[in-house]
Amino acid sequence: MENIDDLVSRLAEDAGVIKPASHPYVLSLKLIGAGAIYLGALLAFSGLRPDWLEKFHSIWFVAEILALVGLFVVTSLSAALLGFPDQFQKRNQVLAPIWMFTLFMLLLIFEWLFDGHPAPLPVHNFECTFSIALTAIIPAVWTFYALRKYASTNYRLAGSVSLLSAFSVGALWLRLHENTDSINHVFEWHYLPMLIIGIVGLWLGKKLLKW
């Protein structure tokens, strides 16, 4: 019979070196950085809306963009934390997208209420949702790919916030590119679809992140 010490040594040699998982904050920074680079590339290709300098003098537009950036950041962080079985014991940060999305919607409601001179609706509608979803595919793929290397036990929620994070990148791109000021259009075709995307993410998380 093989000596137990020799057996342990041989098994240890065969096991190889296991690379420790990145800290969730590091993973979230990678996701945020990749999203920022991707957004920059999209805008470099498509161009900014022609009145972008003027729009950044509008407090409501700036607040909307900052809230959308905030939503992207907190969903990226939440997705990274959900990659770990215990969410790194940071449940408040995991659930932060709920509060951020609520704040974002309240901001849009106030923006609509204080819109004294409503802009005309653009001639298109669902094309915007389709464009956002299309541009969200790439960040969704890399986020799900990154999370599959971890061990999420909340795969439904992880899938939901991952898709919301990706959709936020697409929404940021279109808001900075599309030359429209109709808050009714933006609310209906840019942001309300996020609710559907979140539900789809619950299903997709079960399909792709369950282990």
What digits encode the pLDDT tens for the residues 185-197? 999 999 999 999 9
Q: Show Cβ contacts of residue 15 under 8 Å, excluding neighbours closer than 6 positions.
A: none
State mean pLDDT over 46-66. 93
Q: Show Cβ contacts of residue 12 under 8 Å, excluding neighbours closer than 6 positions.
A: none
Write down the pLDDT at residue 1.
46
Query: 51 — phi, psi (to 5°)?
Result: -105, 25
pLDDT class of 44 with cuts at 50, 70, 90: very high
pTM given for the model: 0.88
CA distances from 2 to 6, 9, 15 (A): 7, 11, 18
Distance CA(27)–CA(84), nearest Å, equals 11
Averaged pLDDT of the chain: 90
State mean pLDDT over 7-33. 74
